[in-house]
Amino acid sequence: MKIQLERYHGLGNDYLVYDPNKNEMPLNEQNVKALCDRHTGAGADGILEGPLLDEKQMGVRIWNPDGSIAEKSGNGVRIFAKYLKDAEYVQKKQYLLRTDGGMVEIAYLNEVGSRLRISMGILCFNSSQIPVIGEPREVINEDMVFGNSLYPATCVSIGNPHCVIPMKEISKELVCKIGTHSEYARYFPERVNTEIMKVIDRNNIAIETYERGAGYTMANGTGACAAAGVAYKLGLSGNKVIVHMPGGELQIEIDENWKAYMTGEVFYVAEIRLGNEFTELLRTL
């Protein structure tokens, strides 16, 4: 039996949707890596497995391209919500979706479901929740060493861990230089996503992202929320900002309880049917 996948992207961050109700093969670290390989597989920044159904809410499991599990992904959640509408799993304009990083609230802003507002959860700066080693504290503007260089880091969780570094200038090359060291740094027992952030003005920030388990990405939804929260926490911006990334923009709002709301678009690209030879290879992994 052939495997059917759906390809979507959010701001250049592309995912394959793997619906277990339409495909029989269980996903695992090895076949996920093979599927995401851009040279010998279908190629993607990750796989969205779902809907995972129970009596209360639908859920999604988010796989990184290295075969690890991501607790939450802003682009992934928006993409999966679009798939649920396209596949007619949902009719409501608002509902809850379960992720490994907690529940998220989905709201469709247009009829086709391509523009969405997502309540991504509560931003938490506490070291035990992120987690970051050391005594319990809020990890605000701490000096951390990555690759023999010292950086002022503020760390935050929104269901997954982020390390945000404000800088005067940012680039892909610089975030990759930092991220290759910060992802596995001793400070972070569960690894970390890294954002370098430039504050443009009180209403606009720009970020570059090195994603845990994926490397450099053109856009990152949870990273945008994390950076917006850090900018607001440090008094560098207001609670509503546009986050500019190489792949595009997201609107982020932080409420009085530090809940982050993300608004942005996603796009359907194609249906993919894997060939028999590659399907059989996947089943052996």
Annotated binding site for substrate: 13, 64, 74-75, 160, 193, 211-212, 221-222
Q: How many CA atoms lie within 13 A of 243 on its CB side?
A: 37
Binding residues are 13, 64, 74-75, 160, 193, 211-212, 221-222
What are 216's two structure tokens? 């450099």
Q: Which residues pair with 217 in a beta bridge?
A: 209
The residue type at 88? E
Which residues, 6+ apart, have CB-to-CB distance to 161 below 8 Å?
130, 131, 132, 155, 188, 190, 191, 192, 193, 212
List Cα–Cα distances, 58 to 3, 65, 71, 104, 167, in angstroms.
22, 23, 15, 11, 39
Q: Which residues pair with 151 in a beta bridge?
A: 144
- For 201-262, where are the alpha helices, taking DSSP H only? 221-233
Do you find a cis peptide bond into 131, omega within 30 degrees of 0?
yes
Task: Count Cβ atoms within 10 A of the Cβ of residue 68 and give its class: 0-12 exposed, 13-18 middle, 19 or more buried.
Answer: middle
Going by their DSSP bridges, the two strands 69-70 and 58-63 should be labelled as antiparallel
Q: How far apart are CA 239 and CA 108, in angstroms?
A: 22
